[in-house]
Each structure stands twice: as structure tokens, then as C-alpha cells.
Structure 1
Amino acid sequence: MGMKKEYFVLERNVLILIAIPLPAFSFVYLYTSSGNLDLDIPTLPSAWWPFILIAICALLLYSLLTFNKAMMGLREANVTLEDKWRQYARLTIRRFYLLFMAGILCAIGLLFYENPGFTVAYAITLGLVSLGKPTPDRIIRLLRLKGEDREIIEDFKRRD
């Protein structure tokens, strides 16, 4: 499969990982803020919510730091554009799985504890999602591509 086709597969998979936690969190947020629905939610020990919030923060920080560190190494690697692209795609999917888990944990935390910290954590998660979504321009900037390599990635913008 060519890099352009792989890009569209990556883009689709990232969109799926973005789309699943969004309605889950939205439903929970509306449920906790409206008071119109009455679901029989079991109660969890109140001592757990700080650990869930810390786990979310750790996931967000880990996803950001590991991705950026790997990008620095990838920029300096003396490999072909295809190898850089495949490594970038692998790192991006791993990053978005971590953001997916953070989003789901935010929804779960808000559902059980109704703590506004989970809403703030989800807003931060959404910020990282929007800053990390793969686009040709972002790939060029992250990999610092020039010349022919840059043109190849810019061609991803055109759908055939």
C-alpha cells in the first residue's frame, strides 16, 4: 500500500479514536448537569477519584512526552521518507490510543463522581487531540521535510 493510502487509513483510524469518547463524555456531561435522567449508578469509594484524575493526567503527559521525544529522534534519523512516514503513523496511533483511554476515563470519572476536574481533564484531552490530529502540514512540520519529500507529503492533501 502506498503512503497516500496509508495516510487515509491513519486519518480514518484517528477519527474513530476521537469519535468514540466524544458522545460518551457528552452523554455523561448532560446526564450529570441536567438532572432530568435518573440512572441507577453504583457508588464507588470517593477516595478513588483523585487516582483516576491522576491517571488521566499521567496518560496525557505520557502521550505528549513520548510522542515529542520520538519525533525528535525521527527527525534526526537518516532513513527514507517511507520509513519516517511509517514510524510517524505508528507513533500517532499509539498517541491517539492513549488519548482515547484518557477520554474514556474522563467520562467514567465524571459519571461516578460528578467532579468538575474530569470536565477540565476532558477539555485538555480535546486540546491535545486537536493539536495532534495528523494533517499533511503537521507531518511536514514535525518531520521538518524539505524538497521532494515535502512535495510527496503535500500531495496527501489531494484526494484522488
Structure 2
Amino acid sequence: MEEKRIKKRFETLERNVLILIAIPIPFFAVVYLNSQNSTFSFDLPELSTFWDSFGLGLVVSILFLQYFNFQTSIKRILRGNLDLETKLALYSQATMQRFWILFVSTFISALGLLFFDNPGFTMAFAVTLLFFSLGKPSPDRIVKSLKLKGEEKDKVLGMKRRG
């Protein structure tokens, strides 16, 4: 019974993460393609260069923040003497918080590129996608992050099997 709850929790986490990855990509793609050949003409206000630098700095700060927050959450989980379900619940919370922060980063990158046509926002988006990719939960990553061993490790790795 515990294995079913664990698997259900993982499947929910995986689905939610994939949604958070998929939503911003088309928005950024439209902005990026428009920056390359100006298909659409947007009547955007002229913003000072302060906001360009601020936006780029904000994205970089957000990327550091999400990494630091996630690692801190994992350390907190590892310090506790918790059962597997509680560990996975806390891991899911930390992962969702991380992906929401990355989600915000993608939209700031898209808006920055839209308003300032600064290629730095394209790089920031690419780095955010890298964090999305490296942070996407999988049974192997969960085992490694939570340093699971024995029966707990086997249960989590058992989530790989579909059905």
C-alpha cells in the first residue's frame, strides 16, 4: 500500500513539474523569434537601462536562490529522522518550490528579451532550462538527493516501473 502512495506522489510531482516546464517555452519562443526578425510590432514603452540590468540581475539572483533553497531543504530532510513517505512529501514540496521559482525566472527572461532585446536574457533562459533539466525529479535523483539506502532505495527505484 505504501508503494502505491509513493508512486502516486511521484507521478503527481512529475506531472506538475512537466507542466511548469512546458508552459513558458512557447512564450519565450515567440519573443525570441520576434527579436530575431520582428514579425510582430509591439508598442512597448521605453524603459531605462536600469531595468535591463535590474531584470538580468534579478534572474541571476533567482537562479542562485532556487539552488540554495533546494539544497537547504534537502539538508533539512536529511537531518530529520523521517519515514520514507514524509521524506518524499518534503522532497516534493522542495521540488515544487524550486520549479515555481524557475517558472518565474523564465517569464522574467522572456519579458526582459521583449523589452530590451538583450541577449543576456536568452542566456538566462537557457541556464534556467538547464536547471529545469537537471532538477527534474526521477527515482534515481530522489535516491541520490535523499541518500536513500536499502529498502527505502528499492521502494523509490521501484517507481520506475510503470503499471
Question: In which range does the TM-score fall when normalised by the shorter chain?
Answer: over 0.9
Helix, strand or coil at the partner of 1:42: coil
Q: Normalising by the residue count of structure 2, what TM-score does the alignment of the two structures yield?
A: 0.94
Count how many residue pairs are aligned between Structure 1 and Structure 2: 160
Q: What is the alpha-carbon root mean square deviation over aligned residues?
A: 1.2
Tell me the residue number matched to 2:5: 2
For 1:77, give the aligned amino acid: G
Q: Does 1:71 align with 2:74?
A: yes
Q: Aligned pair 1:37/2:33, yes or no?
A: no
Which stretches in structure 1 are left out of the alignment for 5+ residues?
Answer: none
Does residue 96 (structure 1) correspond to residue 96 (structure 2)? The answer is no
SS in 2 for 1:104: helix
| Structure 2 partner of 1:146 | 149
Q: Could you tell me how far apart the structure 2 residues matched to 1:9 and 1:76 are?
A: 25
User: Any idea what the Cα deviations from partners look like across 1:35-72, whole Å, max 9, x if unmatched?
Assistant: 33323333323321111111111111000011112212
* 1:6-155 equivalent positions in 2, closer than 5 A: 6-155=9-158
Map Cα deviations across residues 76-113 of structure 1 (whole Å, 9 max, x no partner).
32110111000000000000000000000000000000
For 2:37 and 2:159, how far apart are their aligned partners in 1? Answer: 43
Correspondent of 1:156 among 147, 159, 163: 159
1:79 alignment partner, SS class: coil
Using the size of structure 1 for normalisation, the TM-score is: 0.95
| Separation in structure 1 between the aligned mates of residue 85 and residue 98 of structure 2, nearest angstrom | 20
Q: Aligned partners of 1:123 and 1:69: how far apart in 2?
A: 24
Gaps of 5+ in 2: none
Say which is worse superposed, 37-46 or 72-81, in terms of deviation. Answer: 37-46
Could you tell me which amino acid in structure 1 is paired with residue 114 of structure 2?
L
Q: CA deviation at 1:2?
A: 1.0
Percent of aligned positions that are identical: 43
Distance 1:40 1:24 in 2: 18
Distance apart, 1:75 and its partner CA = 1.8
Moved over 4 A (4+): none
